[in-house]
Amino acid sequence: MAFIQPFMAMMERDLRVLRRDLVPFLARTAMQPFLFVLVFTYVQPKIGAGAPGFQDVLVPGLIASTVIFQGIQAVAIPLVMEFSQTREIEDRMMAPLPVWGIAAQKMTFAFLQSLLVVLVVFPLVYIVPVNTPHLHVSPLVLVTIIPLGALLSASMGLLIGTAVNPRQMTLVFALIVMPLTFLGAVYYPWSQLEAIRWLQVITLLNPLVYLSEGLRGALTPQYGHMNYVAVYAGLIICCVGCTWGGVRMFEKRVLS
């Protein structure tokens, strides 16, 4: 357990930086979900547009997408910078930690940021809409789904940040973020895709679907959601796969 002290020292350093830059972090985190909620659940109802009850559908999906992309951003972008420009990764390698321990520290920090995002986004999606969302909270599901989602986002960030060439990062984000969002059951329940069966099946490859549906079951079950067994199985499989792949790629990049 000799690695605990250097692990915690790295965490303290990163948390100190986050605390120093807390205002920009909160502004960056809140801006996109705030604009989505403002336009779709405040402006559109005020001008007579938009579907009734859309705020109920949007709450779990928007929380899920924000959690996923915050975790990805918290790991992938700093990793690209450390590998290609600042070379900070070399300083981290001097710590008395195994390579996988450094990867675990990065994932842990991203995990904590994703949990913080929930505290920022949830009040926005609940307060801003003209019509208050009708939430029927399942506490047990909520407190298990959110940590799984945060872990998934951190592991996806590690995998993307280590597997992608730094020069292609902008392209990768463009190719990943848009499909994940629009095909991630963010703006509609996954069950409604039954009318387009082939698309419903393909979207099962999207990790965001399982998080969106899990949060839909935890917050707005009246709109229908994916079976909990499928939700938890999908999240766990994606977490394990992305973590394993991310750590392997991290070790390969660091030791090459």
Over residues 17-47, the pLDDT tens digits come to: 888 888 888 888 888 888 888 888 888 877 7
Summarize pLDDT for 93-126 with one digit per residue, the tens.
777 778 888 888 889 999 999 998 888 888 888 8
CA distances from 218 to 68, 89, 140, 144, 222 (A): 17, 39, 8, 10, 10
Q: Is 245 left (phi over 0), alpha (psi -120 to 50) or beta?
A: alpha
Tokens for 98? Answer: 């195994």
- Tell me the C-alpha distance between 256 and 245, whole Å: 16
Task: Specify the pLDDT at position 204.
Answer: 94
CA angle 152, 134, 213 (to 5 degrees): 25
Q: What is the pLDDT of residue 85?
A: 66
pLDDT for residue 142: 93
Q: How far is CA 134 from CA 36, 119, 216, 219, in A?
A: 18, 19, 12, 9
57 lies in which domain range? 4-255
> What integer pLDDT is reported at residue 208 of this predicted model?
95
Q: Which residues of the chain have pLDDT under 70?
A: 1-2, 48-51, 85-91
What is residue 18's predicted lDDT score, i.e. its pLDDT? 86
Per-residue model confidence (pLDDT) at position 100: 86
**pLDDT, position 86:** 62
Question: What's the pLDDT score for residue 149?
Answer: 95
Domain total of the chain? 1
